[in-house]
Amino acid sequence: MNETIMIIEDEEDILDLMEYTLTKEGYDVITCIDITNVTDILDEDDVSLILMDRNLPSTEGTKFINSIRNLGYNHPVIYVSAKDSSDNILEGFEAGGDDYITKPFNIEELKARVKALIKRTSKNQDIMKFRDITYNASNKVFNIAGRDVKLTHLEHNLLLEFMKNENVLLTREILLEKVWSDSFNKQVKTVNVAIKRLKENIDPEGNKDYIKAIRGEGYILC
């Protein structure tokens, strides 16, 4: 899942430059040339960061941020502004900003500051990938080929164990110990049944062959 950045900037050249640069970095970008629809978008989309100009036609950027802070919007904000005096910068922070970049700015520094702030505030850091399976540890959801897959608690733990041990042969005994650790029902057959069911869930057409059975040994995700 990409992080979404909202840019509020009335000069189209700068807006284009920032949008181009951040898109190339792998972010989804929403652009606004004024503040008209900003709160609606914040309500509907999962915005990770706001880049905020200050000299806007209808309002002043810090006043706007201050007003949305008072409504409880807690999104990280970086000002990008030609207002570059010390007092201007202090105003920006006092109005609830997280960082302040003065124009003209170095695009590499903008990228670095965006990345640093998102890293601190993002909840989507713990992501594991295997082929077209991704696992998001923050909400414990597996996604296969772009679709969220519903698994039982046991199947979740089982697939997670395989993801942690990509390309490693796991014997039934190891799986019983790791996945069924607090269960009384510890039979080798239990593992076979659970894996069969897991395979049906993650590969209903049976053509992806994520988990292979190695006869007499165990199973491997490869």
Partner 1 sequence: MSVKIVIVEDGEDLLDLIEYSLSKEDFETIGFLDTKNVTQFLDEVDVDLLIMDRNLPGVEGSEFIQSLRAEGFTTPVIYLSAKAKDAEVEEGFMRGGDDYITKPFNMKELVLRIHAILRRTSKNLNEGLLSHRDLILDKSSRTLTVDKKEVKLTKLEFNLLYEFILNKNTILDRDYLLENVWQDTESYQYRTVNVAINRIKEKIDPDKTKDYIQTIHGVGYKIV
Long-range contacts of the stretch 191-196 (C-beta < 8 A, 24+): 194/154, 194/155, 194/158, 195/158, 195/219
Q: Which two tokens stand for residue 147?
A: 């679709």
Residue 57, H or E segment? none
Q: Which DSSP symbol is given to 18?
A: H
Could you tell me the smallest distance in angstroms from the CB atom of residue 147 to partner 1?
18
Least Cα distance to 42 among 10, 79, 68 occurs for 68
SS3 137: coil
Could you tell me the smallest distance in angstroms from the CB atom of residue 139 to partner 1?
5
Could you tell me the smallest distance in angstroms from the CB atom of residue 106 to partner 1?
5
CA dist 61 and 82 (Å) reads: 12
Q: Map residues 87-126 to x or -, x wherever contact with partner 1 holds by CB under 8 A.
A: --xx--xx-xxxx------x-xx--xx-xxx--xx-x---
Q: Map residues 22-61 to x or -, x wherever contact with partner 1 holds by CB under 8 A.
A: ------------------------x---------------
Q: How close are the terminal C-alpha atoms of the chain, in Å?
A: 23
CA dist 65 and 68 (Å) reads: 5
Nearer to partner 1, 119 or 212 (CB): 119
Return the range that interacts with partner 1 (CB under 8 A); candidates 50-58, 69-77, 202-210, 211-219: 69-77
Helices (H), the chain: 12-24, 38-44, 61-70, 86-94, 107-121, 153-164, 172-179, 188-202
Nearer to partner 1, 65 or 219 (CB): 65
CA dist 18 and 31 (Å) reads: 10
Q: Which two tokens stand for residue 53?
A: 């100009």
Nearer to partner 1, 40 or 209 (CB): 40
Nearer to partner 1, 73 or 222 (CB): 73
Which parts of 146-175 interact with partner 1 (CB under 8 A)? 153
Question: Is 186 among the residues that bind partner 1 (CB under 8 A)?
Answer: no
Choose, by CB under 8 A, the member of 138, 183, 187, 192 that binds partner 1. Answer: 138
Could you tell me the smallest distance in angstroms from the CB atom of residue 113 to partner 1?
7
Binding site residues, partner 1, CB under 8 A:
46, 69-74, 76, 86, 89-90, 93-94, 96-99, 106, 108-109, 112-113, 115-117, 120-121, 123, 138-140, 153
